[in-house]
Amino acid sequence: MNSDKRILIIDDDVDMCTLLSRYLNKKGYETDMAHNATKGLAKFNEEHFDVVLCDFRLGDKDGKDVLLKVKGNKPGTVVIIFTGYSDIKIAVDVIKHGAFDYITKPLIPDEVLSVIEKGIAASEKNGANSIKDSDPSPVNKEPSVTNVHLNEDYLMGEDESIIKVFNQVGIVAKTNYSVILYGESGTGKEVIAKTIHENSLRKNGPFIAMDCGTLSKELAGSELFGHVKGAFTGAVTDKVGHFELADGGTLFLDEVANLSREVQASLLRVIQERKFKRIGGTKEKNVDVRIIVASNENLQEAYQKGRFREDLYHRFNEFSIRLPPLRERKSDVLLFADFFLKRTDREIGRDIKGFEDEVLSIFKRYPWPGNLRELRNVVRRAVLLTNDGLITSKVLPWEITQSVSYKEVHNTIQEDTQSQTDDSEIKEMDLKDAAAKAEYETIMNVLKEVNYNKTKAAEILKIDRKTLYNKMKIFESM
């Protein structure tokens, strides 16, 4: 029972207030009602309420006005906004100003109860009720993410930057908006796309992903729309395209900027008309698909430079989300390392206890140009090369251990100099050592610039790949 929790319902729909109040009373909550903002705020100021349920459209004020006054007076209160207008701008605005969540009318009592319980749990977990009433800072604080269901194979992370991403996911998932996901390779764009799908009204439909990065014009058209037998050389059977496969669900197009202008034009027609023909076919097929696209380059800049159709960009750009690279999520690195370790343990039947402190230190300092994908692969490799006990730095790739080690040595030398360590304790660095260090740093800087593509690095350094590998082996043994 929740008899110690009080809920204030503010809505000008008297019948809805009454029905919701009775439902919540049966679930053990004590409720009170007000049918306009002024009376609701008066009750809130006179009595204690743990949760405020407020309609956005009220006669004398709107829900945002109520939200700001409630959070300004008692920041620890859970505020949930109702709206009969499925307006994403309203949702984004109230979430930014401190609302725990929003719910679109018509209301489903079980959904309202679920959000209330999550809000109370988050408030108790974060100690929100212990915040001094005079402290207004939580009004502008990003709310905790509790309205996004995550697959058990996913990990959200705890860094503030990714919390903001999942807040946006929770908002846009409930709509049918097209979404652009921006992020570097390996930041988890497909995971976010699938999370949007799994939290949408289309969750029982298919989620179909397509990588547009390496497809030729001919192949891209066939993959998107399908083809009929004999449509072109090699079309020996009919083929179902990704649009057809995704009907009733979500189609995720990764690296969409790589599609040719011709394919972009065909894509635009399908989005506008919700109809398509297989290549070589004559029969039109209706299709109902939500589209999420991803790109590691800004599509607005791409269309301004003529590399992407402007009209297609505006079709996609109903909502956009930027995924932060792992180097901007330092507090999540060790969290994900442990997550990938446990998952790999299960997959290959190992029982690795964890990481040595040196490995954890290296992980925290390394910039992770390949982001989460690189971290996952590094951990999987390390688990495979470790029989038992703790993972050591010996099983980490060369570019990771050496990328960090010289920096640590350099920092140690600086600290020793600043603390005026006795000269006898400092080893002198001769000219040969200095030259080796300079060469090492030059090679590492180039490798970072090309995301550790050794072929490109060798070209820039004007040496062959064999020479580069030999030098890397030398550095590894230093």
Return the CATH number at 195: 3.40.50.300
Which of these three, 140, 170, 190, is where a domain ends? 140
The tokens describing 3, both together, are 């008899």
Last residue of a domain, one of 110, 140, 170: 140
Looking at the fold, whether 134 and 52 belong to one and the same domain comes out as yes
First to last CA, the chain: 65
**Residue 200 pLDDT more than 80?**
yes
pLDDT in tens, 241-281: 999 999 999 999 999 999 999 999 999 999 999 999 999 98
Number of H helices, E strands in the chain: 19, 14
pLDDT of residue 87: 60
pLDDT at 407: 46
Least confident window among 10-24, 67-81, 136-150, 314-328 = 136-150
Q: How many domains does the chain have?
A: 3
Structure-block tokens of residue 394: 């010996």
Number of alpha carbons in the 13 Å side-chain half-sphere of residue 405:
16
Give the pLDDT of residue 122: 79
Say whether both 116 and 24 belong to one domain: yes
Determine, yes or no, domain membership for 220.
yes
Mean pLDDT is highest, among 341-345, 442-446, 466-470, for 341-345
Residue 384's domain is classified under what CATH number? 1.10.8.60
Q: What is the pTM of this model?
A: 0.61
Same domain, 277 and 315: yes
% the chain with pLDDT above 90? 48
pLDDT band at 461 (very low <50, low <70, confident <90, very high): confident
* Nearby residues of 199 by Cβ (< 8 Å), 6 or more positions away: 148, 149, 169, 170, 173, 174
Q: What percent of the chain has pLDDT over 70?
A: 83
Q: What value does the mean pLDDT of the chain take?
A: 83
- Would you state the pLDDT for residue 106? 76
Q: Answer yes or no: is 150 within a domain.
A: no
Task: Let me know whether 267 and 304 are in one domain.
Answer: yes
- 357 and 297 in a single domain? The answer is no
What integer is the mean pLDDT of 448-452? 72
- Structural domain including 59 reads 6-140
